[in-house]
Amino acid sequence: MRELFTASLVMSTLRLATPLVLAALGGLFSERAGVINIALEGIMLAGAFTAAAVTYAVGNPWVGLLGGIGAGMLIAAIHALACIRYKADQVVTGTAINILMFGMPGFLSGAFFLSSGSTPQLPKEQLIPYTPMVMAGLLVPLTWYVLYRTPFGLRLRSVGENPAAADAAGVSVPLIRYSGVLVSGVLAGIGGAYLSIGQSSLFTRNMTSGRGFIGLAALIFGKWRPVQTMLACVLFGFTEAVSIQMQGVVKLPSGEDIPVQFIQMVPYLLTIIVLAGFIGRSRPPRALGLPYEKE
């Protein structure tokens, strides 16, 4: 048992928590502004695919990262436009984007790389394994500062809590909401890029495998606050790291492997429990999900 808790487990936890932190902080900017973002999964897929494809085409991962950010922003902009301008149901729009982006990488890679849903392998020197981790780490205090210590953060929170009052105070509700959703596109885009050109060396079909949703879960578990959300991401990253390391190492007394499925469930079950109020109440921004109509 003891050989499990080593430096490699810590490192693996941090690596696995990085995309979650980026996605969750992205979700935070969108949801604190009052726009539900279950499109995080699709945005991450867009970022992951574009980053890998651009890096392959240009040979430079930094350009690839920018491409991933751009793709994330583009998808977020579609979400924002549908939800804010056309007042579409935010959950339905998010679902639509997730389905769209589930298919889009395969559609494009089938044409451009003649493969069924993956991009070509990238050489090791064209990967950025550490920078996104550092970015994720720095973004937590930065998000805290922006949210609680800047006029923009105040407006963002007010627009998510009481848009009518914010409007009366002269804040442009749509403008702030657009900004919030676009920032979520940038961050989730980086999170996706990290998966394809940081952790891995190519894009594979559906490579996020639910990380956008775990990020969302972490956001709720962290009560829509930056530091708590980061801690939730580390916890969820840790459970994933343990479930990977445990395979074939730790055995039950009967000699069987401990089923990984039970560890995989942990983030989701914890979120359900915290949402039900068993571990302190998790209260969403008051105007979350409601389109704002000027009186």
Partner 1 sequence: MILDDRARSAPTRSPFRHYSDGLLGELIFPLIAVLAAFVVGGVMVLVVGDDPIQTYRLLLGSALSWPDGIGYTLFYATPLIFTGLAVLVAFRGGLLNIGAEGQLYVAAFATAWAGITFANLSAWALLPLCFLAAILAGAVWGAIPGVLKARFGSHEVITTIMLNFVAVALVGYFTQYHYKAPGDPIMQTTMIGGGAHIARLGRFIPGFPERIPLNLSFVFALIACLLVHLFLWRTTWGYEIRATGSNPQAAEYGGISIRKQMVLAMAVSGALAGMVGINEVLGYRYRHYDGFSANYGFTGIAVALLGRNHPVGVLFAAMLFGMMIRGGIFVDAFTNNVTKDLVDVLQGIVILFVAAEALFRGPFASHRLLKRSKI
Binding site for partner 1 (CB under 8 A): 31, 36, 38, 78, 81-82, 86-93, 95-108, 110-112, 116-117, 210, 213, 216-217, 220, 256, 259, 261-262, 264-265, 268-269, 271-272, 275-277, 284, 288-290
User: What DSSP designation does 199 have?
Assistant: I
Residue number, 90 or 119, with CB nearest to partner 1: 90
Quote the least distance from Cβ 173 to partner 1, whole Å: 16
CB distance 34 to 188 below 8 Å = no
Quote the least distance from Cβ 278 to partner 1, whole Å: 8
Pick from 216, 279, 267: nearest CA to 237:
267
Task: Give the pair of three-digit tokens for residue 117.
Answer: 């849903």
Residue number, 105 or 191, with CB nearest to partner 1: 105
Quote the least distance from Cβ 2 to partner 1, whole Å: 26
Residue number, 58 or 290, with CB nearest to partner 1: 290
User: What DSSP designation does 257 have?
Assistant: B
Quote the least distance from Cβ 211 to partner 1, whole Å: 11
Residue number, 91 or 246, with CB nearest to partner 1: 91
Pick from 143, 139, 179: nearest CA to 159:
179
| Residue 5 CB partners (closer than 8 Å, separation 6+) | none
Q: How many residues does the chain have?
A: 295
Which residue reads 């939800």 in tokens?
83
User: CA-CA distance, 45 to 215, in Å (whole number)?
Assistant: 13
Quote the least distance from Cβ 96 to partner 1, whole Å: 4
Residue number, 89 or 167, with CB nearest to partner 1: 89
